[in-house]
Amino acid sequence: MAKEYDIIIVGGGPAGLTAAIYSARARLKTLIIEKAVPGGQIATTGLVENYPGFPDGVMGGELSQLMADQAKKFDTETISAEVLSLEVRDNERVIHTSEGDYSAKAVILAGGADPTKLGIPGENEFTGKGVSYCATCDGPFFINKVVAVIGGGDSAVDEGMFLTRFASKVIVIHRRDQLRATKIIQERAFANPKMEFIWDTVVEAIEGNEVVQRLQLKNVKTQERRTLEVGGVFVYVGLRPNTDFLKSILALSPDGHILVNEQMETAIPGIFAAGDIRVNAARQAVSAAGDGATAALAAEKYLSQVGH
């Protein structure tokens, strides 16, 4: 027998935790299912300077802990489990997880996104041995080492700057000759003497012995190849939504994001999506929180319509 709730929220990042705060304050029995610790991507981010209400910025870990505390204060229940599948039965939505089954009339999918992998030789082999996707988690292991960061977006440049606290030099390797990152982040990076940039270049392979020692690079304009000696490499080439388990039941965009309308409703009544998992998300903590609130309000309305 599945354990019953009014609303089940899959994912405990800013979208899921905000949805939980709204849902629990509406006196709906709310469960958050989170595969790791609550917080989402923001929990592994350094200083967050663009979340309103924190004029001096706030550390990502602290911000997510505050959100989790706030959700808990309103009696939201949280379990740690991996979601395996979602089943739609008349008015009931059943979530099958690694820890058993849970059912509710409304479900909010807020499972966010995971880092995209490069898919090059050596990447999987050296993950945890010099290849990392989280500067906040692994930066302190690279004291006085030369590290590379791959990517040209906000994450690559922001996290590269964070790594200059530990590394002797941070080399950003970008496939174009212009960064995608926000201008203020670019200005700070260009002014930082520990930051260097290699333009128009892709990494073809990550090599080493026990740990990462070098990268094989190719300039995409000149086709010239060369080797770069590094002590570690941080990959920040975008995010992939966690929607594999939904492919057979929900409409997804070509790159796997859930299609929703302005109320965060999917094509299936009673199933909503919020944050980085949905199509056209701004992919910011604050917009994810906004999505969470919208989805919870829409779910509350749906529950009253189906006679909850």
112 near ligand NAP (CB under 6 A): no
For residue 278, give both structure tokens. 């949905």
What is the nearest approach in angstroms of ligand NAP to the Cβ of residue 61?
A: 15
134 given a catalytic annotation: yes
Instruction: From 190, 213, 180, 8, select the one nearest 111 (Cα to Cα).
Output: 8
DSSP states of 248-259: TTS-B-TTSPBP
Residue nearer to ligand NAP on the CB measure, 2 or 58: 58
156 near ligand NAP (CB under 6 A): yes
What is the nearest approach in angstroms of ligand NAP to the Cβ of residue 180?
A: 4
Could you tell me which residues are beta bridge partners of residue 89?
Answer: 92
Closest residue to ligand NAP, based on beta-carbon distance: 153
Reduced to 3 states (helix: H, G, I; strand: E, B; else coil), residue 226 is strand
Residue nearer to ligand NAP on the CB measure, 3 or 240: 240
137 given a catalytic annotation: yes
69 given a catalytic annotation: no
Choose, by CB under 6 A, the member of 283, 286, 287, 297 that binds ligand NAP: 283
Do residues 147 and 231 lie in contact, with contact meaning Cβ atoms separated by under 8 Å?
yes
Choose, by CB under 6 A, the member of 6, 138, 154, 291 that binds ligand NAP: 154
Q: How far is CA 79 from CA 9, 83, 101, 167, in A?
A: 11, 11, 12, 37
Report the amino acid identity of residue 87: E
* C-alpha span between 255 and 239 (Å, rounded): 10
Residue nearer to ligand NAP on the CB measure, 130 or 270: 130
Binding stretches for ligand NAP (CB under 6 A): 50, 118, 150-156, 158, 175-176, 180, 182, 202, 236-239, 283
Active-site residues, by number, are: 134, 137-138
